Structure 1
Amino acid sequence: MTRRPVAVVTGTTSGIGCQLARRLAHAGYHVVSVNRRAGPGDDARLADLTDTAHLAHTAHAIARDYPCVDLLVNNAALMLGDYRYTADGVEAHFAVNTLAPFVLMQALRASLARAGNGRIVNLVSAVIYEADTRASEIDQLARPTQPFVPVFGPYARSKRALAALGLALQAAYAKDDIRVCGFDPGSCRTPMTLGRGMPWRLLLRHFVRMRTPDAAARELVTMLGAGGPPAGIVSDGRWLAPPPLLDAGYQQDVLALCRAQAVALLPMPIPAAG
């Protein structure tokens, strides 16, 4: 009997994640959803992505129950109107948008390797190409001291760090036949982009050009069906050169920060990245 491929997707209660879970199920995947509350999928796992220890327990449980995972999509994200902090004192954008994907990638690495041709898709954003050097400062990720800036502050920093994290892990994961992709879905009309974190001037400028979440989900599922997406950063179906800010030094700094945060916050070991 042919094994049904398994996809683990975060943030499926609305927006791109919701449409993606439905399209993946239609494409034949067994979808494991990871959310704060139940969302579409064959197996709904409840986890608070701001609680790193809770998420790690959930990730290890998924790895135990699914020895082979074909696809991990880190879709869940925050874009808030101000700084917020987790119970551990970590800035929430970094906790959800960067640290949570790291924990899932590491905890599910063995399951992705066993599947053969495993794929990790981290949803990034066009803001990673913004040329604000301050946005890439490592010390502003977990515990920022700079004034809050909507979109281009902690959200952009955390998404840039996520893209850098994927690039940093690319070579090591390739040894296990796992491909890591940073997928930019473009501007979409989702509860996040229509929420408090999006300044009204920016929203008015981009609203007409915003895609539907289903269009972004369809694009990703089409690429998956065609054997993609490729490793690296992908936007509009095309591979993009990483922005200069995401150089090798920054990639390793992000990886070291995520590793240090995970070690400090988790009651269980997360495998080494290399």
Structure 2
Amino acid sequence: MAGRTMVITGASDGIGRAAARALSRSGENVVVVGRSADKTEALARELEADHHVADFARLEEVRALAAALLDRYPVIDVLVNNAGVIMGSRTMTADGHETTFQVNHLAPFLLTTLLSERLVASRATVIMTSSVLNLRARLDLDDLDLIRNYAGIRAYANAKLANILHTREMQRRHGDAGVNAVSFHPGAVATNFSSGTDSMARLVYHTPLKRFMHTPEQGADTLIWLATSVPGADWVPGGHYEKRRTAPVHQLSDDTDVARRLWERSEEMLATG
């Protein structure tokens, strides 16, 4: 199975970078995607890999990324939607959406949608980086941008639940055509996550408390396992994992109507944003 094309977003740092290094060493054709041009280019040089730069807070850059990927790669075997952010104060993107929700859900939803025909043709594995915080979500499909009752942790939890719902609805829609979608929680990982934001998360990720957290390599382990093992044999498509085992999910994760409505609502938001 070596030599497959694997696109990893959020690859310029943290678990994305750790996974890119490990997968490249094992012989996979890794394509690194990141927001920071300097970090992304540096990793690409180190791995002798292709790279693309895109800021998921700008949907025009996501659309340009999708066009570039479709133009360059006739087969995409694995897509890892790993880019993410958590904000403290409520901020809006240039596209008119709450930043945490757009970067963590709307942008990867858009990228995956634009690549969907290629992913189906490639019988691809699609991996979503979610979080145990999905269990704290209070998802309101009529207020996904959290105009009412905003809190940074709620926005992040909602987006991480949206990742799981997106995974499960994608599996329902495209599983019979060969796509295998899955989500996972990497654990609390010592990375630069939340750097440059006003989120309280920076007090954990950027203080000595980091020494109690997983290394990026440890956090990337389940991602690497999902990317290199056999769907349907080693893990269940549509599932959610942590430490290579099935992980708990929010009760709404099994609600097929909510998953369908989130998909449709996401399409509506992207049509106007």
* TM-score (ref. length: structure 1): 0.85
1:198, distance to aligned residue in structure 2 (A): 3.4
1:150–1:199: 8 Å Cα contact kept in structure 2? Answer: no
Aligned equivalent of 1:259: 267
1:58-87 deviation per Cα after TM superposition (whole angstroms, max 9, x unaligned): 212211211100000011101122111111
Return the alpha-carbon distance in structure 2 between the equivalents of residues 88 and 224 of structure 1: 32
Amino acid at match of 1:129: L
Aligned equivalent of 1:95: 102
Cα distance 1:200–1:23, how it changes in 2: closer, same or farther (>3 A)?
closer
2:161–2:250: 8 Å Cα contact kept in structure 1? Answer: no
Return the alpha-carbon distance in structure 1 between the equivalents of residues 67 and 100 of structure 2: 23
1:157, distance to aligned residue in structure 2 (A): 1.0
1:227, distance to aligned residue in structure 2 (A): 1.8
- Of the candidates 80, 96, 104, which is equivalent to residue 111 of structure 2? 104
Pairing 1:162-241 to 2, within 5 Å after superposition: 162-192=163-193, 196-199=198-201, 207=210, 209-228=212-231, 229-231=235-237, 232-240=239-247
Q: Does 1:83 align with 2:85?
A: no
Return the alpha-carbon distance in structure 1 between the equivalents of residues 165 and 116 of structure 2: 18
Identity of aligned residues (%): 26
1:66–1:111: 8 Å Cα contact kept in structure 2? Answer: no
Q: Alignment partner of 2:142: what SS?
A: helix
Q: Alignment partner of 2:127: what SS?
A: strand
Please list every run of 5 or more consecutive structure 1 residues that lacks an aligned counterpart in the other structure: 266-274
Aligned equivalent of 1:61: 68
Count of aligned positions = 258
Cα distance 1:208–1:36, how it changes in 2: closer, same or farther (>3 A)?
closer
Pairing 1:20-31 to 2, within 5 Å after superposition: 20-31=19-30
Return the alpha-carbon distance in structure 2 between the equivalents of residues 237 and 219 of structure 1: 5
1:193, distance to aligned residue in structure 2 (A): 5.5
Larger relative helix fraction: 2
Q: Does 1:140 align with 2:119?
A: no
Cα distance 1:127–1:3, how it changes in 2: closer, same or farther (>3 A)?
closer
Aligned equivalent of 2:59: 52
Amino acid at match of 1:120: V
1:258, distance to aligned residue in structure 2 (A): 1.1
1:119, distance to aligned residue in structure 2 (A): 0.3
Q: Alignment partner of 2:252: what SS?
A: helix
Return the alpha-carbon distance in structure 2 between the equivalents of residues 162 and 181 of structure 1: 10
Return the alpha-carbon distance in structure 1 between the equivalents of residues 210 and 109 of structure 2: 31
Q: Report the more deviating stretch, 17-26 or 240-249.
A: 240-249
1:139, distance to aligned residue in structure 2 (A): 2.8
Return the alpha-carbon distance in structure 1 between the equivalents of residues 211 and 58 of structure 2: 36
Cα distance 1:16–1:198, how it changes in 2: closer, same or farther (>3 A)?
farther
Aligned equivalent of 1:11: 10
Aligned equivalent of 2:125: 119
Return the alpha-carbon distance in structure 2 between the equivalents of residues 167 and 219 of structure 1: 18
Cα distance 1:258–1:19, how it changes in 2: closer, same or farther (>3 A)?
same
1:180, distance to aligned residue in structure 2 (A): 0.5
Cα distance 1:263–1:70, how it changes in 2: closer, same or farther (>3 A)?
same
* TM-score (ref. length: structure 2): 0.85
1:49–1:55: 8 Å Cα contact kept in structure 2? Answer: yes
1:261, distance to aligned residue in structure 2 (A): 1.6
- Of the candidates 220, 235, 243, which is equivalent to residue 250 of structure 2? 243
Q: Alignment partner of 1:136: what SS?
A: coil
Amino acid at match of 1:92: T
Cα-Cα RMSD: 2.4
